[in-house]
Structure 1
Amino acid sequence: MSDKLDKVIACHEATKHHYHAYAPGPGMLDWASQPDPFRRYAGTELLHLDKYPFTDGPSYEQALIEGRVEPATLTRETVSRLLYDSMALSAWKQAGGNRWALRVNPSSGNLHPTEVYVISGPVAGLLDVPAVCHYAPKLHALEVRARFAIETWRDLVAGLPPQTIIIGLSSIYWREAWKYGARAFRYCQHDAGHAIAAVGFAAAALGWKTMLLDDLGDEAIAGMLGLPRGHEPEAERPECLLAVYSQAHACDVRTLPHATMTVMAGNEWHGTPNVLSPSHRPWPIIDEADAATRKPDTVTPYIGSTSPEPVEPAPIDATVLLRRLIHQRRSAVAMDGHTGLLATGFYSMLSRCLPGMKRFPFNALPWPPVVHLLLFVHRVQDVPPGLYLLVRDPAQAKDLQEKFDKEFEWARPDGCPEDLSLYRLAGGDCRKLAERVSCHQEIAADGVFAVGMLAGFESPLKTCGPWFYRRLYWECGVIGQLLYLEAEAYGIQATGIGCFFDDPVHELLGLRDRSYQSLYHFTVGGAVIDTRLTMQPPYPDPGPAQDT
């Protein structure tokens, strides 16, 4: 293995939780150094965006398949809606004298390491010339970091469909490290995956789609976004660029012209980033993981999945609107221990977790699926409790069966749709098991079902390179964002679980090597509402932005 791959695996092993010891963390939280959740660039021109009620737009069912929503024109309104439905605030919560914001995109610990940028050509009513802008969610506004020539913009998007805009994502690791220590790098990557899916769902509501420009390297992305090259604690690290364009156009371009990106990196950048914390604690292992997983400019060696397109899942009530689900999504903090789900709903949720070339949110990812779902089923009517596995790429079922414990049943549950590669590994009450491997958290036992996201590990890293490590987590985050909306569509809630005991999950399955690794846990069920909290709107009355 390469030195970088050795480093990735070493960092992965060092950040595992074990029954006898957790990964290194801060211990006691230093509240005086709690990071500001909102990055601002002082000295930039501020472009206020419009806010809208979320009682319009396509149904959830309609929007999740490409080609069913009439594509909108690129305008000030649609750019506003794209960001409002993906990365904006969704509410304010208050308890006593404490008040904090919730966002459309979820985040580990509500710490929000993900920053968002817009690279766009002229947009009527918003931008007279091409610009790179930072999104400020607290204000729902764009901060203009740089303007550049129209000729440069035309060269940049020459291979992309007309009316394309580009969304850039970066991470501030310190925001997660403040609370979670060494394991924060993982959580930042989960959040990037959630953000990729959030942008995808918002695009779907407009008849648009997203494509990860995955041939680009980290250095080129940093140059495009005007990110400093330093290693200070609050530095923003590049994650990815997403091309957003109409579903009416097909496009398989995953890169941008290098010469034009070099010109973009030389833009005159405006604005000084605010200081997020007065003091910091260093976490060298995060910097090591970042350095080892940086992507060079390469043509990604992905091979498309040979599995057939999945059959469409059971329909959801057509009155359930996508935008309403997006804005009402909440992360449950406790489950009630009794709410259940019909088998038809359970199977429909799992069917939507299957990738497809025209299925949101997975159509943004250019690689074949590498993440499968280990399911701890607790309260699904007509599906006996037990341990199950959803194989998201049937071509990988044989390898999984060979790697897993030989005592597993590998039985198809009664009533399961034929196109769903779902297997019962072992029957019986697994509530205490789910709770134990999820850091003894009752929320994993008290829902309808809990999930362990099991990713192919060593083989993808050796095939693609150590930089693919981040993408394993991105895929988990994308699945998690879908599960959030699926839960809301069925009148229940969900939440991500970043704290779990890694190797005990592997031992449960009989895994003896690193061919597969558990990277993210999740739970879905009936949420317990904390009546001590009051909820407030995210912004003043929705409507057109004021020129103030």
Structure 2
Amino acid sequence: MKDTDLQRILAYHERTKHRLERYAAGPETLDWSAQPDPFRTFEGADRILLPLLADGLDTSFPELHRPGAVPPRALTRDSVGLLLELSLALSAWKEYGPDRWSLRCNPSSGNLHPTEGYVVCRNVEGLGDGIYHYLSRDQALERRALAAADTAGGPSRLLIGLSSIHWREAWKYGERAFRYCQLDTGHAVGALRYAAAALGWGLRRVDTADASAIARLLGLDRAADFSGAEGEEAELLLEVVIGPVAPPALPVFGDLAWAGKANVLDPHPMYRWPVIDEVADASRWPGEETPPPPEADYPPRADPPAVAAAAVIRQRRSAQRFDRRFELERADFYALLDALLARPCAPWDVWNHAPALHPVLFVHRVTGLAPGLYALPRSLGAETKLRAALRRDFAWTKPAGCPGHLPLFLLAEGGCGPIARTVDCHQAIAADSAFALGMLAEFEDTLSAAPWRYRQLHWEAGLLGQTLYLEAEARGLRGTGIGCYFDDAFHELLGLSGKAFQSLYHFTVGKPLSDPRITTEAPYARTPA
């Protein structure tokens, strides 16, 4: 089965590559008036409005990266609401002419938001024990299941489950949508980790639970509740950690009284993409405890600007255009890259794997740094592997003034704006930014040992992207994730052959240009608490 799963995953990855001569299979036309409903609801489930408290949070952005800097809040309905308000909630409404759309703290490919959030709680003040679906539109919980018996007396526990609705992405992106759902999951993990840190909480993955166990816990396997509606794919389960750490395990409730039926998001789907179901089946997590990797010996990172954490989190946007005249200060550039190194603090302490993704950068305009192609191996072993896999004529020189611990190497000097633009599906943002990058994954060795890590490689890419988003915002900059790129054209540029490394995500950072025709409204009409 392992070999069969690997073959299915590799076949999916190959067939969903964008190529210079053609794009991956997708819909031939889009009717934006028939876009799937961006909000899942469960009719018949009781709703609990959560307060809006982010305006009163005094945690600074630098404090998110200092373990122990923020006193942990008690587990209550209010603190659960704050966690969700800073991670999966709406951050604004936008209007342009007759069109109106929402933005969220967690980004999504095409702003389509396939990721759904669930709350699992025991002995949390103000919430009955059970399972809840988070409705970001209303900053509310829908009670899906209530414990039938009294479970008081045990420790307080709060878990967040994430699922994907593949059709939301496939409606626009066709077969490549599974990749984007996984990137979005990684972004959501990062958003939740930063939000938990703002409350003084740790966050860990419950990796002993396999995909079917998570689906049962969240009620995603209840066929009658999803009859006629789009199903949800269980992704992962995260647990808030406060105080001493107990072994990860699923909570036990006994009998649960379930309620609610899922709404239909798209009553008239025009396409079917069976390969998405095939790769989902081949890549489900089997459930096994993952010991944390050895900690890298990096010095503590310098503090980012002392801005409010809630402001940075809620103002995160994807830039649509960049100022091509802007030059990024070299110190800020190095600080952005330094934030991508895995340290035992947020957001990387939620990740139980050695770094397997390594940025290759197109540097366009950084003060005091030569334009060109650079590499950032995020582990010692990766540098050796990349040197062996990439072009033999790459220089691999350390830039002058680069911090000694930062593994940044110049590969080739020279203007690379047109190349970056071409590789990233001819998009101007890849050339007009201060720098762009592609994330190379240790692909073949990782999947040969564990095919189901295909999802996790994308999650790590999304986590890298979320870090860049927030670190850029804290410095008055802006980022944009790029899911559309020509996979093998990028590989060929680097001299890669075979499947040892594959590019899974691209990203760009610069000074954004705003469009004054687009207006911004508050995310929620009701008054914050």
| Superposition TM-score, scaled by structure 2 size | 0.95
Q: Deviations over 1:14-59 (max 9, x none)?
A: 1000001110010211335410000000101111000024363221
User: Which residue number in structure 1 is paired with residue 493 of structure 2?
Assistant: 508
Note the residue ranges of structure 2 that are not aligned, 5 or more in a row: none
Work out whether residues 148 and 256 of structure 2, in 8 Å CA contact, stay in contact via their aligned partners in 1. Answer: no
Matched-pair contact (CA < 8 Å) for 1:305–1:393: no
Determine if contact 2:124/2:156 at 8 Å carries over to the other structure. no
Deviates more, 1:375-384 or 1:535-544: 535-544
Q: Give the partner amino acid of 2:136.
A: P
- Structure 1 residue 256 and structure 2 residue 256: aligned? no
Aligned partner of residue 144 in structure 2, secondary structure: strand
Q: How many pairs does the alignment contain?
A: 524
Residues 45 and 259, structure 2, Cα contact 8 Å, conserved in 1:
yes
- Give the match for residue 386 of structure 1: 372
The Cα of 1:255 is off from its aligned counterpart by: 3.8
- The CA deviation at 1:144 is 0.3
Report the residue type matching 1:65 in the other structure.
R
User: 2 CA distance for matches of 1:59 and 1:537?
Assistant: 22
Counterpart in 2 of 1:283?
273
* Pairing partner for 2:160 from 138, 159, 167: 167
CA distance in 2, matches of 1:238, 1:153: 28
Deviation at 1:65, TM superposition (A): 2.5
2:384 equivalent in structure 1: 398
Letter in 1 for 2:265: L
Select 1:527's aligned residue among 502, 512, 515: 512
1:474 deviates by 0.3
Match of 2:38 in 1: 37
Q: Distance in 1 between matches of 2:417 and 2:386?
A: 24
The equivalent of 2:234 in structure 1 is 238
SS at match of 1:520: strand
Q: 1:331 to 1:150 in 2, by over 3 A?
A: farther
Distance 1:293 1:405 in 2: 32
1:250: Cα distance to partner? 4.1
Residue 28, structure 1, aligned to residue 10, structure 2? no
User: Once the 2 structures are TM-superposed, how far is the Cα of residue 305 of structure 1 from its aligned partner?
Assistant: 3.7
- After TM superposition, give the deviation of residue 229 of structure 1 in Å: 5.7
Is the CA contact 2:304–2:471 (under 8 Å) kept in the aligned structure 1? no
Assess if the C-alpha contact under 8 Å between 1:117 and 1:225 holds in 2: yes
* Cα pair distance change 1:233/1:17, threshold 3 Å: farther
| C-alpha contact (below 8 Å) 1:113/1:173 kept by paired residues | yes
Matched, 1:354 2:341: yes
SS in 2 for 1:91: strand
Is 2:461 the counterpart of 1:472?
A: no
Residue by residue, what CA displacement relative to the aligned partner does 1:79-113 show, whole Å, maximum 9, x if unpaired? 11101111111110011111111111111000000
Shift in alpha-carbon separation, 1:225–1:153, aligned structure 2, 3 A: farther
Q: Deviation at 1:508?
A: 1.2
C-alpha distance in structure 2 between counterparts of 1:305 and 1:395, whole Å: 13
Q: Distance in 2 between matches of 1:345 and 1:249?
A: 36
The within-5 A match list for 1:17-166 is 17-54=18-55, 56-124=57-125, 126-127=126-127, 129-148=128-147, 162-166=155-159
Tell me if structure 1 keeps the 8 A contact 2:90–2:102: yes
Summarize the alignment of residues 134-533 of structure 1 with structure 2, pairs less than 5 Å apart: 134-148=133-147, 162-228=155-221, 234-246=230-242, 248-250=243-245, 253-256=247-250, 260=252, 267-280=256-269, 281-300=271-290, 304-305=293-294, 307-308=296-297, 310-318=298-306, 320-357=307-344, 359-463=345-449, 465-533=450-518
Alignment partner of 2:415: what SS?
coil
| Partner-residue secondary structure (3-state), 1:37 | coil
Distance 1:254 1:326 in 2: 28
How far did 1:303 drift? Answer: 6.6
| Structure 1 stretch displaced more, 194-203 or 53-62 | 53-62
Does the CA-based 8 Å contact 2:305-2:475 persist in structure 1?
no
Q: Structure 1 residue 466: deviation in Å? A: 1.4
Question: Aligned letter for 1:534?
Answer: T
Stretch of structure 1 that moved more, 436-445 or 30-39: 30-39
Q: CA deviation at 1:400?
A: 1.2
* Aligned-partner Cα distance in 2 for 1:362–1:151: 37
In the alignment, the residues of structure 1 paired with residue 371 and residue 301 of structure 2 have an alpha-carbon distance, to the nearest angstrom, of 22
- Cα shift at 1:213: 1.1
Unaligned runs of 5+ in 1: none
Distance in structure 2 (CA, Å) of the matches to 1:389 and 1:474: 21
Please say if residues 233 and 282 of structure 1, whose CA atoms lie closer than 8 Å, have aligned partners that are also in contact: no
The answer to whether the Cα contact below 8 Å between 1:312 and 1:351 also exists between their aligned partners in 2 is no
C-alpha distance 283-424 of structure 1, shift in aligned 2 (>3 A): same
Q: CA RMSD in A?
A: 1.8
Query: Letter of the aligned partner of 1:26 in structure 2?
Result: P
Taking a change above 3 Å as real, the CA distance of residues 450 and 55 of structure 1, as seen in their structure-2 partners, is: farther
Q: State the 1:152 CA deviation.
A: 5.9
Q: Distance in 2 between matches of 1:205 and 1:493?
A: 21
Alpha-carbon distance, 1:204 to partner: 0.5
| Larger mean Cα displacement after TM superposition, 422-431 or 70-79 | 70-79
* Pairwise CA distance, 1:374: 0.8
Q: Quick one: which amino acid aligns to residue 160 of structure 2?
A: I
* Counterpart contact for 1:338–1:526, Cα < 8 Å: no
**Tell me, what secondary structure is at the counterpart of 2:52?**
coil
Change (3 A) 1:53 1:199: closer
- Residue 304 of structure 1 and its aligned partner are, at CA, apart by 1.5
Aligned residues of 2:317 and 2:478 also touching (Cα < 8 A): yes
Q: Deviations over 1:459-505 (max 9, x none)?
A: 11122x21110000000001101100011111011110000000111
Identity in percent: 46
**Does the 8 A contact of 1:336 with 1:526 survive in 2?**
yes
Contact 1:373 1:453 in 2 (8 A): yes
Q: What displacement does 1:276 show?
A: 0.5
* Contact 2:130 2:256 (8 Å CA) reproduced: no
Amino acid at match of 1:256: L
Letter in 1 for 2:230: E
Sort the Cα spacing of 1:541 and 1:516 in 2 relative to 1 into closer, same or farther, 3 A.
same
Could you tell me which amino acid in structure 2 is paired with residue 284 of structure 1? P
- Does the CA contact (< 8 Å) of 2:124 and 2:157 recur in 1? no
Q: Distance in 1 between matches of 2:149 and 2:349?
A: 30
CA distance in 2, matches of 1:79, 1:101: 22
Aligned equivalents of 1:204 and 1:305: distance in 2?
A: 22
TM-score w.r.t. structure 1 length? 0.92
For 1:307, the aligned partner's letter is A
